């Protein structure tokens, strides 16, 4: 491979959180991207490596100045939900191509957005983003100016259910999510205190997690117009997410048919791996891989699908880089090879 | 309270595993039970505290001699599945009242047993045991001579679903089990190696765990003749088990009605606690408590029930003591107060 | 045993932190103590069990009112360093017998206190407290009105080194402390965030931890006037503390002589246990036990002593109850039996 | 950089253990090395990725046949102590340049070897190996045919103490090692069972760990002829090792002088990093970096040095690759860039 083009200059806005910092690191080491600037609201003047020694990124956090920092080809915005939209809008005005890691542009129905998140911070852009799950929207992402990077639960869920959803055979689905603590973000709270999490496991966001409508929207787009039951749990591990999907199919599936379907799905996508045994989150740690295992339960006829990702990588930052690769005409896997 | 009776003499057969050792400790400190003998197949001559310093039980493991060790009032048998039945039979011949911690006597249908476990080791006793879940079979347990202590998943599941099952409104149920590593037993295997489990989570026994027919049997007995989807996962924690139940009801439940039903269930049983928020397994560690939280999911109409237990305590050893209390006319909570 | 006396009424001031909450629980279940009031500065009106479900203490946190809450026989004060002294002084004015869990009254030299902690909050009481390590100061504690409960590192260190210190043979000592996260308190900080601690180990308070002068003071009192090197490390575990002591002796010790010395030390104290192999912190979890193991290193002549405690129990709350037992003429082990 | 040479063909003998498997992965992805064969004694016919999915190495384990597999440029031998020497000898007969990960060739004194390990498996080669710590023996390693890769404790210890040892100012040193469980190897034992390790910390190999004479030998070679006190502890983490060194210097050190000495040491070596605060093992996970922090303890005059490495990487497998780079004229950092 030889790329002679100028490097693509990328701004990472909001680099002091887990996903923003990782995005900055991945850009920093990418053979074709250049980390133009990394900004922070809380740690201006500190080096990224002061907060995250293992990332070994010497860049110093700056205060975001869209005027000045917007002189780039692309931006990854890692702001909290709600705070992101205005920044995205300002960058789009300067024609920066943006990948937004927040939930601000994932939903396409204004009422649903309002119900779960309230007023939108850039209503003129609402509905204009491409949903940034490369395996589903690769072609659209390649030419997109605004990409809404999905939530981590939806990424694992949709990659796990796509073959079934596209076949139109999902009557009902229960999605039990098991998530590491980094998914709760870097804020120090009682909930993320080591003593609270250690030797524990607990459900949260019961009967109404914000990622549920996102899952519904995309399952419907794939051909499965269902209301999914999505239930996350917090586990005593730092990184990683396992999604256990319990599908009630509209008609019986044989294991052979299921295997064929998932083999085809995996064969078509560099980052979809099939596991002969149920995948553990350790298998995909620090990678952009989603590992899948699908089984027919002969007792009940249900189809069980297990999807493992690294919530910070495929669940956010490396997923963004995968998108960025396509947006700039590069091989999907560049800089994030498994 | 004043008990003037002679202490009840209890044999613990198979005390070198996690649950047998804990049973021996609970008996050893019980105000009305006396640990007559603790046996082991692998560690004869060692003190229980050599293997489990935190239990502080000085008793020395003996080789089981039913002739001699059967001179007791009761026995807790903590042998592996299959190996247990012959021991139980020998003890019953000496009229020892037995609580069996294995799966050998839990099922009541011979064909189902044969299908999951093969030939039975004491066919003459098959079907004669009382299912040892105190909250469901307390009256029968009080007079029983042979009690089959339930599996840990079924205990949490049945205590979590009993109100719904009895109402006859369970159309379908998915049971996602999250279990600590002690549930896999003391044997050192690749699967229980720290490096395998640490920072990991993985499904196992996919589409066919042995506890599933036990759950079906007891749900049916309660009034819910369903085939449950039961899926366990191994988590990086030592003790504790969280069961997330996703019930498709036959008719809508309101949250108020659900609350009333679970309040009544909890009020009737000393060890059933309702949690205002979803319970963590830490909340019940080292106790005989089962903590429950039930919610209607307004989006889907499903009823979600979360049940947390300590797999070694309420999931096995202290559950056995609770049964033993009733069998000898003692208060259910004696020696295992929360 | 039969105690016919009125229960001793105990105030726990500052019950929302880890050690205060545990002290309240231990008092609440103690056969001769009664939890009169538990106060909090941050969680007034909430039940203790809302914060700590596993403690199962229904008492509601009140705002401290020394006038009203001082109508008790004894108080355990679990306030931060500095904030404690004024409360202790106010309680002493009402003749309440006080055990202070903070560092405010541990040191006996005013200059040393000033150097490490600054101005004292109740100078009139400085130097009047008994150092609350029961195994060393039992007789004085029995009649004391003000007991300064030791820090957790000093407790493990002093119980581990007492036989050597009393023999006058410590020339130099390095104390490497390995502490669980609960030792850092309940405050949610970056340092106690699960993601920071998980899969990590790090030294802190390098070359100058506040517990060092406390260790020096008490080693000198025992007969070992040394300046100890005390270095703590934060480990990925919730509860527990292991102290590894490397003693350069003034003269050679034989293993036999060392064994005899530690056997005598253990035999004289209910909560000092000798371990045949190096103790793990799991061996003493949720107990008031300090487990010891002492070895001569034949290569170097150094004496190695390992001491394991539960930092929240013997390192603080149950140590306080042990003291309180003596102060009110009760058996040392009452309510905190191993 | 452009390397036009033929790739160097490397055999990894013993690839089913943690370090051998990682070595195979590092060779497999190295730009100038080619994984010729990976062998195993226990898992012949299985893919490396079946055992270690996260390594994503498709190579199939073969049974070692020195005749056939010895047709390579170099070999990394990852056999247990004792079993390694004969294999090394056989490979050396075929003029394969060998890096041995075992302890078989680390010691240079036959009596010391005999005392700790017994009879040697290839006495004719004893004493001919270069000690494979690149930062100390880089020039010799470049031309060596047999390199004895150091133990993980000695690596961290020696990299941490080299500046002090070379200055000739170490009078005495205590080395407290805190090691993750992967350091104990892949064998499933009671000691590595998750339930044994979780929420625990314990010393092992008390007063006589096999790595101690290796430390002494190399400290002496550096200019510090001391008998070190080396004491390892097992921590509840998978990968990582922190070594806390407590040096009694022969003369006082100032912090400025110490800083200058360590800055020079770090500046001269690509993989030695200085940390402004004490390093955590997380900072160096999955890298070949050794992170150091050195401090004078003003109270005692002792010099404290903290060294963090990844025991599987810099502690073994990537250290081997660093050596192999030099042996074949490549940049030291190639394929293992931090």
Mean pLDDT by groups of 10 residues along chain B of 338 residues: 73 98 98 98 96 97 96 97 96 98 96 93 96 98 98 97 98 98 94 97 89 95 97 98 98 98 98 97 98 96 98 98 98 96
Q: Using CB atoms, pick whichever of B54, B199, B283 lies closest to residue C53.
A: B283
C-alpha dihedral sign at D203, D205, D211, D212: positive
DSSP D183: G
Contact assessment for residue B141 and residue B134, using Cβ atoms and an 8 Å cutoff = yes
Count CB-CB contacts under 10 A for residue A90.
18
Alpha helices in B167-244 (DSSP H): 194-197, 211-222
Interchain CB distance below 8 Å, A201 and B240: yes
Pick the closest to residue B69 from B46, B39, B93, B89 (CA basis). B39
Token pair in block for residue B235: 């988590």
Out of C133, C148, C152, C334, which one is annotated catalytic?
A: C152
Order of strands, edge to edge, in the sheet holding D241-249? D202-203, D229-234, D170-179, D241-249, D303-309, D290-296, D272-274
Residue from A54, A181, A242, A308 whose CB has the most chain D CBs within 10 Å, to mutate:
A54
Token pair in block for residue B107: 């099922």
Pick the closest to residue B42 from B188, B180, B161 (CA basis). B188
Interchain CB distance below 8 Å, B238 and D198: yes
Closest approach of chain D CAs to the CA of A282, in angstroms?
A: 7
Residue from A47, A50, A53 whose CB has the most chain D CBs within 10 Å, to mutate:
A53
* Average pLDDT, rounded, for chain C: 96
Report whether pLDDT(C5) > 80.
no
Contact assessment for residue C58 and residue C48, using Cβ atoms and an 8 Å cutoff = yes
Q: Which string of b and e fits B166-190 if b means at least 16 CB within 10 Å?
A: ebebbebbbbbbbbbbbbbebebee
> Element (H or E) spanning D306, and its range?
strand D303-309
- The C-alpha atoms of residue C14 and residue C71 are separated, in whole angstroms, by 17
Average pLDDT over residues A53-57: 97
* Average pLDDT, rounded, for chain D: 96
Contact assessment for residue A214 and residue A151, using Cβ atoms and an 8 Å cutoff = yes
C-alpha dihedral sign at A100, A103, A108, A113: negative
C328 Rama sector, left if φ>0, alpha if ψ -120 to 50, beta otherwise: alpha
**What is the tens place of the pLDDT at every residue in A212-234?**
999 999 999 999 999 999 999 99
Say what the pLDDT of residue B221 is: 98
What are φ and ψ of residue D332, in 5° steps?
Answer: -50, -35
Alpha helices in C118-225 (DSSP H): 134-142, 152-166, 194-197, 211-222
Q: Is some CB atom of chain A closer than 8 A to the CB atom of B225?
A: no
Report whether pLDDT(A210) > 90.
no
Say what the pLDDT of residue A174 is: 98
Say what the pLDDT of residue A4 is: 54
Count CB-CB contacts under 10 A for residue A336.
24
D202-203 and C33-39: which strand pairing?
Answer: unpaired
Token pair in block for residue B111: 């064909």
Report whether pLDDT(C2) > 50.
no
Interchain CB distance below 8 Å, A338 and D286: no
Confidence of residue C6 (pLDDT cuts 50, 70, 90): confident
Closest approach of chain A CAs to the CA of C50, in angstroms?
A: 13
Average pLDDT over residues C316-334: 98
D236: which chain C residues are within 8 Å (Cβ-Cβ)? 235-237
C219-C224-C230 Cα angle (round to 5): 50
- The C-alpha atoms of residue B87 and residue B258 are separated, in whole angstroms, by 44
B290 is catalytic: no
Distance from the Cα of residue C26 to its chain's centroid: 15
Q: Which string of b and e fits D247-259 if b means at least 16 CB within 10 Å?
A: bbbeeebeeeebe
Report whether pLDDT(D2) > 50.
no
Average pLDDT over residues A237-247: 98
Contact assessment for residue C208 and residue D297, using Cβ atoms and an 8 Å cutoff = yes
Average pLDDT over residues C24-30: 98
Q: Is some CB atom of chain D closer than 8 A to the CB atom of A6?
A: no
- The C-alpha atoms of residue B236 and residue D278 are separated, in whole angstroms, by 27
Residue linked to tokens 């009733």? B326
Interchain CB distance below 8 Å, D208 and C299: yes
With contact defined as 3+ CB pairs under 8 Å, the chains touching B are A, C, D
> Element (H or E) spanning C259, and its range?
helix C255-267
Average pLDDT over residues D226-241: 97
Q: How many CB pairs under 8 A join A and D?
A: 28
Say what the pLDDT of residue B286 is: 98
Closest approach of chain C CAs to the CA of B148, in angstroms?
A: 29
The C-alpha torsion from C14 through C16 and C18 to C24, rounded to 10°, is 70
Average pLDDT over residues C60-87: 96
Residue linked to tokens 């204004």? A110
Question: Which residues, in sequence order, are CB contacts of D303 under 8 Å at separation 6+?
Answer: D164, D247, D249, D253, D258, D294, D295, D296, D297
Say what the pLDDT of residue C209 is: 76
Q: How many CB pairs under 8 A join B and C?
A: 28
Report whether pLDDT(D138) > 60.
yes
Pick the closest to residue A326 from A91, A145, A127, A78 (CA basis). A145
Contact assessment for residue C225 and residue C168, using Cβ atoms and an 8 Å cutoff = no
Q: Is some CB atom of chain C closer than 8 A to the CB atom of D171?
A: no
Q: Is some CB atom of chain B closer than 8 A to the CB atom of D43?
A: no
Q: Is some CB atom of chain B closer than 8 A to the CB atom of D60?
A: no
Report helix, strand or coil for C138: helix
Q: Is C201 exposed, middle or buried (0-12, 13-18, 19+ CB in 10 A)?
A: buried
With contact defined as 3+ CB pairs under 8 Å, the chains touching C are A, B, D
Say what the pLDDT of residue A2 is: 47
Order of strands, edge to edge, in the sheet holding C130-131? C33-39, C8-13, C74-77, C97-100, C146-148, C130-131
Average pLDDT over residues C41-58: 97
- The C-alpha atoms of residue C294 and residue D203 are separated, in whole angstroms, by 12
Interchain CB distance below 8 Å, C192 and A190: no
Question: Which residues, in sequence order, are CB contacts of A106 under 8 Å at separation 6+?
Answer: A129, A131, A148, A150, A151, A154, A214, A217
Report whether pLDDT(D32) > 90.
yes
A303-309 and A290-296: which strand pairing?
Answer: antiparallel
> Element (H or E) spanning D292, and its range?
strand D290-296
Residue from B47, B54, B270 whose CB has the most chain C CBs within 10 Å, to mutate:
B54
Contact assessment for residue A319 and residue A65, using Cβ atoms and an 8 Å cutoff = no
Report helix, strand or coil for C220: helix
Token pair in block for residue D195: 């339930």
C229-234 and C170-179: which strand pairing?
Answer: parallel
Average pLDDT over residues C65-94: 97
- The C-alpha atoms of residue D14 and residue D12 are separated, in whole angstroms, by 6
Say what the pLDDT of residue A1 is: 43
Question: Which residues, in sequence order, are CB contacts of C166 under 8 Å at separation 6+?
Answer: C222, C223
Distance from the Cα of residue B270 to its chain's centroid: 16
**What is the tens place of the pLDDT at every residue in D68-124?**
999 999 999 999 999 999 999 999 999 999 999 999 999 999 999 999 999 999 999
Confidence of residue A58 (pLDDT cuts 50, 70, 90): very high
**What is the tens place of the pLDDT at every residue in A104-124?**
999 999 999 999 999 999 999
């Amino acid at each position: 491979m030889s790329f002679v083009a100028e490097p693509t200059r990328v701004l990472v806005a909001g680099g002091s959180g887990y996903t923003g910092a990782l995005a900055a690191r991945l850009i920093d080491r990418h053979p074709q991207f250049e980390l133009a600037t990394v900004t922070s609201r809380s740690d201006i003047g500190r080096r990224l490596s002061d907060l995250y020694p293992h990332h070994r990124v010497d860049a110093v956090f700056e205060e975001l100045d869209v005027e000045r920092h917007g002189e780039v080809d692309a931006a990854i915005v890692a702001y909290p939900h709600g705070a992101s939209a205005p920044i995205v809008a300002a960058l789009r005005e300067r024609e920066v191509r943006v990948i937004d890691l927040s939930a601000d542009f994932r939903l396409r129905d204004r009422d649903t957005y309002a119900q779960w998140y309230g007023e939108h911070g850039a209503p003129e852009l609402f509905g204009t983003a491409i949903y940034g799950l490369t395996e589903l929207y690769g072609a659209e992402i390649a030419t997109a100016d605004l990409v809404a990077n999905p939530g981590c639960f939806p990424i694992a869920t949709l990659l796990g259910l796509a073959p079934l959803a596209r076949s139109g055979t999902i009557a009902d689905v229960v999605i039990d999510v098991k998530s590491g603590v980094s998914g709760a973000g870097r804020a120090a709270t009682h909930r993320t205190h080591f003593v609270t999490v250690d030797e524990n496991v607990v459900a949260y966001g019961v009967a109404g997690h914000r990622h549920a409508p996102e899952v519904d929207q995309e399952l419907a787009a794939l051909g499965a117009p269902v209301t999914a039951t999505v239930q996350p749990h917090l586990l005593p591990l730092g990184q990683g997410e396992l999604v256990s999907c319990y599908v009630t199919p509209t008609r019986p599936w044989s294991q052979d048919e299921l295997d064929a379907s998932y083999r085809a799905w995996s064969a078509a996508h560099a980052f979809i791996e099939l596991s002969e045994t149920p995948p553990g989150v350790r298998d995909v740690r620090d990678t952009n891989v989603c590992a899948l295992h699908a089984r027919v339960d002969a007792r009940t006829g249900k189809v069980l699908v297990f999807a493992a990702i690294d919530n910070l990588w495929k669940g956010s930052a490396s997923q963004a880089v995968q998108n960025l690769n396509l947006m700039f005409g590069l091989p999907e896997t560049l800089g994030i090879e498994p």
